Amino acid sequence: MKKGWKLGFVLLLIGGLLLGCSANNDETEDAKDIHPIEVTIELPEKGDVNEEIELKAIVTQNKEKVADADEVMFEVWEDGKKDESTMVEGTNNEDGTYTAPYTFDRDGVFVVQAHVTARGMHNMPKQTITIGNPTNEMAHHDQMEEGLSVHWMEPEMNPVGKPIELIVHVNKDGQPVENATVKFTIINEANKEIAKVDGEMSAIGEYKGTVTLEQEGHYKVLTMVHSGEDMVEKEEILHVGHSH
């Protein structure tokens, strides 16, 4: 009887181990089966000055429409003037499309970039549109950024004495970068370093950190990003005590 009991126990233990291995293998396979989100921007090639244009992003994953994106923002700027860009929030049409109306007030070549966060991933494709009759000097299309690049997302609210979220999007050759090392350094108007903040990956290609600043004013934010052997730095100005 004792031998039979021991044999049964051993068989039960082996069965449990095999079942556990099978579950782990299933989890590994599931992880391998995660597909990246794909984003397509739909825009007309041309438009007229003061005409309302629909900005549209189509979000898919493994050819299936994604109707539950966490955030879709459109960034618009005149070619060559990215520092003067504006942000517009996309409306979720619950069919995998996200849209926003936009009116261009002058002739020129403009770049529309979608910033999409969905299912723990981030994607930010670009498209150009020609408005009116731009001069030849205007018509130099914005090229895809090569190598490692950092895009700063300006906070909407920068209150004194309350947490401010610092967000950057990190790309390499136009593709979102996973597991980069991101560090924010905050410098005050007296050129004194007052805080260092680590950026944590909140979605593939998106990194966030939080800082609380106790005085109103203009602060430099130095962002340093490492990915493999690549490194890039970016400097931005943070206006604390003002809303955007």
What's domain 37-131's superfamily in CATH?
SOR catalytic domain (2.60.40.730)
CATH 2.60.40.1930-classified regions of the chain: 148-240
User: Range with the lowest mean pLDDT among 3-17, 65-79, 198-212?
Assistant: 3-17
CATH 2.60.40.730-classified regions of the chain: 37-131
For position 227, what pLDDT does the model report?
94
For position 4, what pLDDT does the model report?
52
Domain 148-240: CATH class, spelled out = mainly beta
| Per-residue pLDDT tens digits for 117-160 | 999 888 888 899 999 998 765 554 444 566 888 888 888 778 99
| 162 to 10, 159, 197, 214, 241: CA distances (angstroms) | 59, 6, 15, 8, 10
pLDDT at 219 over 70: yes
